Structure 1
Amino acid sequence: MTVNDDSFTNWKIREEIAESMIPLIGKLHREQDVTVLLHSRSLVNKSVVSILKTHRFARQIAGAELSVTETMPFLQALTTLDLGPSQIDLGMLATLYQADDRGLSVAEFTAEAVAGATGANKIERRESRDVVLYGFGRIGRLVARLLIEKSGSGNGLRLRAVVVRGGGAQDIVKRASLLRRDSIHGQFQGTITVDEDNSTIVANGNEIKVIYADDPSHVDYTEYGIRDAILIDNTGKWRDREGLSKHLRPGIEKVVLTAPGKGDVPNIVHGVNHDTIKPDEQILSCASCTTNAIVPPLKAMDDEYGVLRGHVETVHSFTNDQNLLDNYHKSERRGRSAPLNMVITETGAASAVAKALPDLKAKISGSSIRVPVPDVSIAILNLQLARETTREQVHDYLREVSLTSPLKRQIDFITAPDAVSSDFIGSRHASIVDAGALKVDGDNAILYLWYDNEFGYSCQVVRVVQHVSGVEYPTYPATAV
C-alpha cells in the first residue's frame, strides 16, 4: 500500500467516525439540552467535513491536530451519563485526560470532569424565553439566524416576533428572502416559508410574527401571546435609558441594545462584565462590535502584564451607514463613496472601554478607518505594559487564554501565516489574535485582532441575552484545571 493509500484510508476511517458522532451530538442537544463543543466551537448541526475541519483546526491553537479517534470515546461516555443542560468541550476533555496520570478510564475521567452537570447536580431544563427583534437589518437577521439555530432543543430562547416599519407590497416576502440568502454569510441553514395572510415567517419550524409599527408605543405584545420577553433593539435609534424605555410595553420585560449605550445604560461585553448585570436591570447595551473585539484581549493583557496606556486603530469594513456613491451625510467624511475610498472616521470603542472595564486605570485612545470590504475588521491594539516581556511569552500566554481561560469563547488564536480578512467571515469569537503579526519590544506590545464585526458581534449579543434570560448553561470541564 502506498503512502497516498494510507492517507486516504485514514481519511475514510475518520469520516466514518465523524458520521457516527452526528446522531450522538444531535440526541444530546435535543433530549438533554447539552451542546457539544470542541475548543469552544459547537459541533451541533455540523456536517461530517465540518466536524473533521474543526478537529484539524485545533493544531492552530493547541499545536497538534485532534483526531475524532481521540474525542469519540469521550462523546460515547457522555451518552451514558444522566446529564442536565450544559456545554461540554470534547477538546478540553481530551487535553486534560492526556495530562492526567491517575490511570482512570475514559468513562471514569469523563464522569468526574462533568460531575457538575449530572445527577443531583444537574440544572433543570428551563421553559423557553420569548425574544422579540426590533429592527431586521444586518445584525437583526444574523441574530435571528443564531436564535433559530439554537432552538433545536425546544428550550432556551424562542424568537417570537420581528418589529419593522411597513415597506409596501410583498414586504414580508422580501424580508424572508433577505433572511434566506445573504451575500456575505451565505444560505440560511434550513427551510423558510412565508404565511402572508398571517404575517408570519416560519423558519425551521419557528413561527415568527412580523409586526408592523412606526413607534414602540404602538405595540402591545401580549396581543400576540408574547410574555416576559427580551426585546433586542437593532435599530440604534434610541440609545439612552429614556428612549429605550419606550420598548417596555406589555409583554416585554427587558431591552437589549445592539449599539453603545449612553448615560447610565450598562455596556456589557460578554465574558468580561456580564456577571455584573443586576437581576432587576431592564435596559442594557451590548456595546459595539469593536468594543467587544478589544476589551477581552485588553483585559487578558492587563491581568497578566498590567496596562499603563494604549491606543486602538481599527481598520473597519464599510457599513450601511455610509453611502455607495458620494452624497450628503451628517458626518463629514462618511458621505464619500464607501466602496471606493478609505474613510477616516471616529470610534467610540476606546471610551466605551471604561464602562466595560472600570478597574482599568490605563488611558485608551482610538480612531478608525473604514475600508472597501463588506465584512471583517481588524483592531490594532498598541499597549504600554507595566513590565517588560518577550514576544514568545505573550504569544504563548494568549494562545493559552484562547484555549483554557474564561475568555476562550471571546478570544480565538490563529497561527496561519497567510491569513486574510475573508478567512474570518462567520467567526463566532469576539476577536481573533493573529499570532504572526504580534509585535513585542520590552514593555510595548502590539496586538492585531481580527473580528467579524457582523457575525462575531451577533454571537456576543446572543450570549448576553442567554445570560440575562437564565439559559446560559455552564461549560465542562471546568476552566483551567
Structure 2
Amino acid sequence: MRIALNGFGRIGRTVLRQVLRHHPDIELALINDIADPATCAYLFQYDSVFGPYPGRVRAEAGMLRIDDRSIPFTGRRALGDLDLSGVDVLMDCTGTIQTRAHAAQGLKAGARSVLISGPCDEAERTIVLGANEDTLGDARIVSNASCTTNALAPLLRAVQDRFGILSGHMTTVHCYTGSQPMVDAPRGPFARSRAGAVSMVPTTTSATHLIDLVLPDIAGRVTGAAVRVPVISVSAIDVTLRLSSPPAGPAEDALRALAEASEVIGWTDDPCVSTDLRGRPESLVIALPETLPRGDQLRIFGWYDNEYGFSARMIDMARRMSARG
C-alpha cells in the first residue's frame, strides 16, 4: 500500500511513527506540509508526548531522511499541486478539509482515495471502525470522524447490539489541544478562549453530532459534552446508559466480554491513571474498576489515547480503503 500525508502535525507525525514501527509493508510516497522542513524534522525527532524518535532524522533537499529511509517532502498549499500518482490513500491530516470539492483535489492529483483525519460533513462517508465500517462501500472521500467518536461509537454499537440503549449521556474528559490558547486569547467561545493548561474548560464535543451520523439506529438517544483538562495526552469518556435489557450477571464480566469480542476496544482491571494509557493503540480501553451498574442504568468509564489510538485507526482505515482495489 502506498500512502501520502498532507499535513505533518500531531496526527501526521504519529501516523508516521506507527508506520515506521509496525507497518514495514506500507510505502510512504510523500509528505506535504507548509512548515519549514527542518522544523518538521526536529518535531518528529523530539516529541513532548511520545519521547524522542530512536533514530536519526534530518531534512535534506526535497526529502525527509529518517535513518536510511528517504521520504519526498514538499510544501504545497493546494492539494491540486501535489503529484499523487500511484498513491492508494491520501491521508489529509491538516484539519482544514470541510468540503467535498476540497478533498476531491486529492483525487484529481492522482490519489485513488482520500481519508480525512477529522469530521467533514461533506465526506461521502463518515466511518468508525467497530461501529459502521460495513457502510464504506465504494466511497473515495471518507472522514475518519473524531478521536472521541472513535472511542464512543464502537462501545455504543456493542452495547446496543447486546443490551439495547434507551438513552444516555457521555462526557469526554479531554486533554487540551492546539485549538486552545496557552494564555487567555480570543478563540470564539468564551470558555475556549481561556488558557488551556491551567483550567478545566467545559465545552462541546463533535461526537454528539457524529454519533447520530455513524449510528443512526440510536440517533437522538445519547447526548454528550466535554471538559478540556490540563493534561497533554490521553483522554477519557464517562458514559451512563439506560439499557432495555441490563446484564444478567456482573456488569464487569459483560463489558470484558464485549471488549474481547471487539478489534478496537480493550479493557483493564488495574486502577490506572491517564498517563498509564499513553501509546495504547485501541480506540477505547474500558476501566472495569469504574463500572457502576444501578438497575437499568450502567456507568462505563474508558480511556483513549486521542492521538495514538486515532492514528492507529487512520492506518487501519487506509488499509481497508486500499484493499477494495
With the length of structure 2 as denominator, give the TM-score of the two structures. Answer: 0.94
Superposed CA deviations along residues 46-93 of structure 1, whole A, max 9, x for unmatched, are: xxxxxxxxxxxxxxxxxxxxxxxxxxxxxxxxxxxxxxxxxxxxxxxx
Q: Structure 1 residues 235 and 331 mapped into 2: Cα distance closer, same or farther (>3 Å)?
A: farther
Displacement after TM superposition at 1:230 (Å): 0.9
Deviation string 1:396-449 (CA, Å, 9 cap, x unpaired) is: 12212222x1x1x311111113x1111100011000111111111111011001
Distance in structure 1 (CA, Å) of the matches to 2:256 and 2:151: 16
Equivalent residue for 2:65, pick from 202, 225, 229:
202
Query: Equivalent pairs: percent with the same residue?
Result: 30
Does residue 247 (structure 1) correspond to residue 119 (structure 2)? The answer is no
Distance 1:250 1:215, change over 3 A: closer
- Aligned: 1:414 with 2:286: no
For 2:67 and 2:49, how far apart are their aligned partners in 1? 21
Rate the CA distance shift 1:292–1:195 in 2: closer, same or farther, 3 A: closer
What SS does structure 2 have at the residue aligned with 1:359? Answer: helix
Show the counterpart of 1:285.
Answer: 143
2:15 paired with 1:143? yes
Q: How much does 1:456 deviate?
A: 0.9
Let me know the Cα RMSD of the aligned residues. 1.8
CA 1:192 to 1:229, structure 2 compared with 1: closer, same or farther past 3 Å? farther
Q: Which runs of 5+ in 2 are unaligned?
A: none
- Secondary structure class of the residue paired with 1:323: coil
Cα pair distance change 1:195/1:326, threshold 3 Å:
closer
Partner residue in 2 for 1:234: 93
Contact persistence 2:159–2:165 (CA under 8 A): yes
**Partners of 1:430 and 1:460 within 8 A in 2:** yes
Q: What code does the residue aligned with 1:435 have?
A: L
1:446 alignment partner in structure 2? 299
Residues 146-165 of structure 1: matches in 2 within 5 Å?
146-152=18-24, 155=25, 157-165=26-34
Report how far residue 195 of structure 1 moved. 5.0
- Between the two proteins, the alignment pairs up a number of residues equal to 324
Q: Distance in 2 between matches of 1:219 and 1:228?
A: 11
User: Which protein has greater RCO, CA pairs closer than 8 Å, 6+ apart?
Assistant: 2
Unaligned runs of 5+ in 1: 1-128, 472-481
Secondary structure of 1:145's counterpart equals helix
Task: Output the CA distance in 2 between the equivalents of 1:299 and 1:204.
Answer: 42
Q: Are positions 1:429 and 2:282 aligned together?
A: yes
For residue 242 of structure 1, give the secondary structure of its aligned residue in structure 2.
helix
Residue 204 of structure 1 and its aligned partner are, at CA, apart by 4.7
Give the whole-Å Cα distance in 1 for the aligned partners of 2:57 and 2:253. 48
Deviation of 1:330 after TM superposition, in Å, equals 2.4
Q: Judging changes above 3 Å, is the alpha-carbon distance between structure 1 residues 174 and 220 closer, same or farther for their aligned structure 2 residues?
A: same
Quote the residue 2:236 is aligned against. 378
Larger Rg belongs to = 1
Contact 1:219 1:249 in 2 (8 A): no
- Give 1:210 shift: 0.8
Cα deviation, 1:79-130, whole Å, max 9, x if unaligned, reads xxxxxxxxxxxxxxxxxxxxxxxxxxxxxxxxxxxxxxxxxxxxxxxxxx21
1:265 is matched with 124
Shift of residue 138, structure 1, vs aligned partner: 0.5
Runs of 4+ aligned structure 1 residues displaced above 6 Å come to none
More helix by share: 1
